[in-house]
Chain A
C-alpha cells in the first residue's frame, strides 16, 4: 500500500494524502481522471460537508455500539495504518466507523447491520473489493449505491472496468482526506436525488444509474485468479458440507461419515469461507440457497481465496426452475445434485468429480470461459427415494435443466459422435475425389478414343489421297486394257471363235434324217456379235410333227453352242406334193423356221412365293 509507512497522527494533516477523484462535474460518474502525481503542499481547508441528507432510516446497530444516531461507515482496508487514519478522520467528522481488514469480515458486518457509506479497498486478502461488492449485492443490494472504492493500482484494468460497471465512486490512493469527504457528500447527494426522484415517481428507488447487474460481468472485469495450487492430498477425504437445513445436513454428514469421509459442516456461506480458509477439502458440498452468502457467492469467494477448490464443488439445489442458479452451475462446471436425491447419487457424483479431476490436464477445462466448460452433471432421482421430506422439490425438472439433462436426445447423433462425423466428412471428401477421378478418367478415356479416331482418320485420309491417285492412274491405264481384254477375248475365246462353224456342222447333222435344206441365212443382228438371226427353209419328207422335231433339235443345238437363249418358231409351214421322181412316202412338209439367238444369258426369273414354300 502506498500509505503503509504513514504514521497515524492525532494532528493528521489533510495535506499528507493525495487525492485522485473524479470531478463532480464529470459527465460520467466514477470515470477516472488523469492522475496527478504532484503532492499538495499547501494546507487545504477542510471541505465543507455537503448538506446533511435526509435522515436515513434507522439502522440496526449492533449490540454494544454507542454511536447510535451517527452515520455508520463500514471501512474495509487491510492496511492497518491507513485504516486507522481513515477511522480517526471519519470519527472526528461525525461518522461511526466499523473497520474490518478483509472482505469476509466485511460481509459479516454487512449482514449484521446497515451502513450509510461503505469504504472498500479493492485489494484485500481473501475476498477482494469486487467480490465483496458482489456479495453485498446479493445480501444487501441497497448498500451497492453507498460504495466508495479505494485503489492504489491505476493500471489495474479489471479493477477499473469493475468500478466503471458498478458506477461506484472511487478514490485513487493516495488521496486527500477532503476528497474523501467530498466523495461521501457527492455520493449522499446523488442518493438523495434518486430517492427524491423515486418518491416523485411513486416507484421504489432503483439501482444507481449505469450500475450493471452481476450477470453482466465479463471475464475481463474479473480480477485474474490466483494460480491454483493443488492441495488435494492434504485434504483428502475431507468434505465441507454447506447446508442450512439442519436435518438434511445431519443425514448427509452421517452418511458420508459412515462412507469414510471426514465431514466439516457449515450452515452458511460465511462459516464455509472460514472453513475453506482454515483447511483443505477434497469435496465441497454446497447448497445453492443459504442465508447470508448464497452458494454462488460462496463459490466466487472460494474462487478468489482457494481457486484449487473450485473443481471440487458439488452443488445442491431444490429449485429446479432457478435459471440463474442453473446458469451459474453450468458456468462453474460444477456437479449438481437436484434435491431430493438418493444418497447413492451423492457418492456417484463425488466419484465422477474425482474421476474427472484425475484426468490428464487439458482434457477438462477447469477454469476456462463458461462457454468452454462442460454442462453440469445433473444428478436427479425422480425414481429414487427422497432423503428428506422438508426439501420437496417439483417433480418435473425445469426447462433449462431438461435441456441440459438429456443433451444426447436433443442434439444430433453426430454431435455426440465426432468420430462418426469425421468419418462422414472423410467419406464425403473421398466420394467427391472418387467422382472427380472417375470423371477425369472418363474424360481422358473419351479424349484418348477421340484422339485415336482422329489419328486413324488422318492416316486413312492420307492413305486415301495416295490410293486415289494410284487408282486414277490405274484406271487410266486399265481402260484400254479392259477394251483389249474384251475384244481380244472374243477373238481368242475358243467357244465363241468357232460358234458358227460348229452350228453349221450341227445343222448339217440334223438334216440327214430326210430333211432337205433349201435355203439358210445367218445374219448378225447386234453390233458386238451377241445377237444373231437364223432362217432355214427346208422340205421335210414327213409330217408337221417331223418338222417340229427338226426345229426343236436345231434350237437345242444352238442353245448348247451359243450358251444363251434361243427362240425358234415356224414362219411358214405347208404340206406340198413330193418332188418329181421322189417316191411317195406320205406327206411332204415345206417349212421356214426362224431362230433368234443371243449370247447374253437371260436374267434369272425371280422365284415365286409358291416355289419358295
Chain B
C-alpha cells in the first residue's frame, strides 16, 4: 500500500509537473508561434486572393485587348473602300446616291457636324440630316422607310439616330420625312 501510494503520488506529481511544464511550454513558445502562423495564414490567403483577382483581371485585360484587336480589324473592314478625303466631302453624296437608288431621288442631305470619338482613335462621328420632300413617286411612307433602311444596310458605319415621317402633308412641296444619321468614319484632315 505504501509503495502504491508512493507510486500514485509520484504519478500525480509527474503528471502535474508535466501538465504545468507543457502549459508553460505551450504558453511561452508554441502559442505565439501558432498565433503568428494563423495571422500569417490569413494574410497569405488575402494576398493569394488578391493575386487571383489580379490574375483574373489580367486575363480580362488580355481578352479585351484581343477583342480590341478584332474590333480594329472589323473597323478597318468597315472603312474599306472609303475615300481618303474628309467625311464632309463624300458622306452626303454617298447617302444621297443610296437613297436615289431606292427610289428617293429628291432627298436633301445636309452635313451637320463631326465630333471626335475619343474611345475610337483615328475616327470621328459625323452627323447628317436627310430631308425627303413629298413627291408623286413616293406614294407611301413605307417606301420612304424602306429606302432609309437601306442606308444602314449599305453602309454599316451609318446608324439612324432619329426618324420622322408624315404621310399627309397638306402643302405641296412639303417634307414627307426627315432622318438624322450618325456615321463613324475615319478621321481625315480637311
**Are A483 and B118 in contact, CB atoms less than 8 angstroms apart?**
yes
**Are B54 and A468 in contact, CB atoms less than 8 angstroms apart?**
yes
**Are A484 and B121 in contact, CB atoms less than 8 angstroms apart?**
yes
In the bound complex, residues from chain A placing their C-beta under 8 Å from that of B121 are 480, 484
Choose among B36, B41, B51, B149 the residue that contacts A501 (Cβ–Cβ < 8 A). B149
A608 to chain B, nearest CB (A): 34
A591 to chain B, nearest CB (A): 15
A222 within 8 A of B: no
Q: Given contacts A415-B3, A500-B159, are A450 and B10 in contact (CB under 8 A)?
A: no
A426 within 8 A of B: no
What are the interface flags for A316-335 relative to B under an 8 Å C-beta threshold, 1 for contact and 0 otherwise? 00000000000000000000
**Are B149 and A502 in contact, CB atoms less than 8 angstroms apart?**
yes
**Which of B86-94, B103-111, B128-136, B137-145 is the interface stretch?**
B137-145
Nearest B residue to A431 via CB reads B14
A357 within 8 A of B: no
Q: How large is the interface on A (under 10, 10 to 19, 20 to 34, 35 or more residues)?
A: 35 or more
Report the separation of the CA atoms of residues A413 and B7 in the bound assembly, to the nearest whole angstrom: 10
Report the separation of the CA atoms of residues A397 and B50 in the bound assembly, to the nearest whole angstrom: 91
A439 within 8 A of B: yes
Choose among B29, B36, B64, B78 the residue that contacts A482 (Cβ–Cβ < 8 A). B64
B126 within 8 A of A: no
**Are B151 and A501 in contact, CB atoms less than 8 angstroms apart?**
yes
B100 to chain A, nearest CB (A): 17
User: B residues bordering A, Cβ < 8 Å?
Assistant: 2-4, 6-7, 10, 14, 18, 21-22, 25, 29-30, 33-34, 36-37, 40-41, 43-44, 47-48, 50-51, 54-55, 57-58, 61, 64-65, 67-68, 71-72, 74-75, 78, 117-121, 140-142, 145-146, 148-153, 156-157, 159-168, 184
**Are A463 and B51 in contact, CB atoms less than 8 angstroms apart?**
yes
B7 to chain A, nearest CB (A): 7
**Are A460 and B47 in contact, CB atoms less than 8 angstroms apart?**
yes
**Are A500 and B72 in contact, CB atoms less than 8 angstroms apart?**
no
The dominant DSSP class at the B interface is: helix
Q: Given contacts A501-B149, A504-B149, are A474 and B61 in contact (CB under 8 A)?
A: yes
Q: Which 4 A-B pairs have the closest CB atoms?
A: A412-B3, A501-B149, A501-B152, A483-B119
**Which of A101-109, A174-182, A441-449 is the interface stretch?**
A441-449
Report the separation of the CA atoms of residues A475 and B161 in the bound assembly, to the nearest whole angstrom: 33
Q: Given contacts A414-B3, A492-B75, are A519 and B165 in contact (CB under 8 A)?
A: yes
Q: Given contacts A442-B30, A457-B44, A497-B152, are A486 and B51 in contact (CB under 8 A)?
A: no
Interface residues of A in 467-507 (CB under 8 A from B): 467-468, 470-471, 474-475, 477-478, 480-489, 491-492, 497-498, 500-502, 504-505, 507
A517 within 8 A of B: yes
**Are B142 and A508 in contact, CB atoms less than 8 angstroms apart?**
yes
A496 to chain B, nearest CB (A): 8
In the bound complex, residues from chain B placing their C-beta under 8 Å from that of A415 are 3
Choose among B10, B65, B167, B184 the residue that contacts A428 (Cβ–Cβ < 8 A). B10
In the bound complex, residues from chain A placing their C-beta under 8 Å from that of B41 are 453
In the bound complex, residues from chain B placing their C-beta under 8 Å from that of A439 are 21-22, 25
**Are A504 and B148 in contact, CB atoms less than 8 angstroms apart?**
yes
Q: Given contacts A431-B14, A450-B40, are A511 and B47 in contact (CB under 8 A)?
A: no
Report the separation of the CA atoms of residues A474 and B63 in the bound assembly, to the nearest whole angstrom: 12
In the bound complex, residues from chain B placing their C-beta under 8 Å from that of A483 are 118-119
**Which of A3-11, A226-234, A275-283, A520-528 is the interface stretch?**
A520-528
**Are B162 and A522 in contact, CB atoms less than 8 angstroms apart?**
yes
Choose among A489, A516, A521 the residue that contacts B164 (Cβ–Cβ < 8 A). A521
Choose among A428, A486, A505, A520 the residue that contacts B163 (Cβ–Cβ < 8 A). A520
A454 within 8 A of B: yes
Knowing that A491-B157, A492-B71, A508-B142 are A-B contacts, what are 16 other residue pairs whose CB atoms are under 8 Å apart, sorted by A's residue number?
A414-B3, A428-B14, A450-B33, A453-B37, A467-B55, A470-B58, A480-B119, A480-B121, A481-B68, A482-B64, A484-B119, A500-B149, A500-B159, A517-B167, A520-B145, A520-B163
A432 within 8 A of B: yes
Report the separation of the CA atoms of residues A483 and B68 in the bound assembly, to the nearest whole angstrom: 10
What are the interface flags for A56-75 relative to B under an 8 Å C-beta threshold, 1 for contact and 0 otherwise? 00000000000000000000
What are the interface flags for A407-419 relative to B under an 8 Å C-beta threshold, 1 for contact and 0 otherwise? 0000111110000
In the bound complex, residues from chain A placing their C-beta under 8 Å from that of B61 are 474-475, 477-478, 481
Q: Given contacts A428-B14, A501-B152, A522-B162, are A412 and B6 in contact (CB under 8 A)?
A: yes
A464 within 8 A of B: yes
A461 within 8 A of B: yes
Pick the most buried of A431, A450, A470, A478: most chain B CB atoms within 10 A of its CB. A450
8 contacts between A and B (CB under 8 A): A414-B7, A443-B33, A446-B30, A450-B34, A498-B152, A518-B141, A524-B161, A524-B162
In the bound complex, residues from chain B placing their C-beta under 8 Å from that of A478 are 61, 64-65
In the bound complex, residues from chain A placing their C-beta under 8 Å from that of B54 are 464, 467-468, 470-471
Report the separation of the CA atoms of residues A523 and B7 in the bound assembly, to the nearest whole angstrom: 100
**Are A450 and B37 in contact, CB atoms less than 8 angstroms apart?**
yes
**Are A454 and B78 in contact, CB atoms less than 8 angstroms apart?**
no
**Are A487 and B163 in contact, CB atoms less than 8 angstroms apart?**
no
**Are A501 and B117 in contact, CB atoms less than 8 angstroms apart?**
no
B180 to chain A, nearest CB (A): 9
In the bound complex, residues from chain A placing their C-beta under 8 Å from that of B162 are 522-524
Choose among A475, A491, A519 the residue that contacts B166 (Cβ–Cβ < 8 A). A519
Choose among B51, B146, B167 the residue that contacts A504 (Cβ–Cβ < 8 A). B146
Nearest B residue to A483 via CB reads B119
Report the separation of the CA atoms of residues A492 and B72 in the bound assembly, to the nearest whole angstrom: 9
Choose among B71, B148, B149 the residue that contacts A485 (Cβ–Cβ < 8 A). B71
**Are B119 and A486 in contact, CB atoms less than 8 angstroms apart?**
yes
Q: Given contacts A483-B118, A517-B140, are A491 and B168 in contact (CB under 8 A)?
A: no
**Are B153 and A501 in contact, CB atoms less than 8 angstroms apart?**
yes
A246 within 8 A of B: no
A134 to chain B, nearest CB (A): 39
Report the separation of the CA atoms of residues A516 and B165 in the bound assembly, to the nearest whole angstrom: 13
**Are A435 and B18 in contact, CB atoms less than 8 angstroms apart?**
yes
In the bound complex, residues from chain A placing their C-beta under 8 Å from that of B51 are 460, 463-464, 467
A424 within 8 A of B: yes
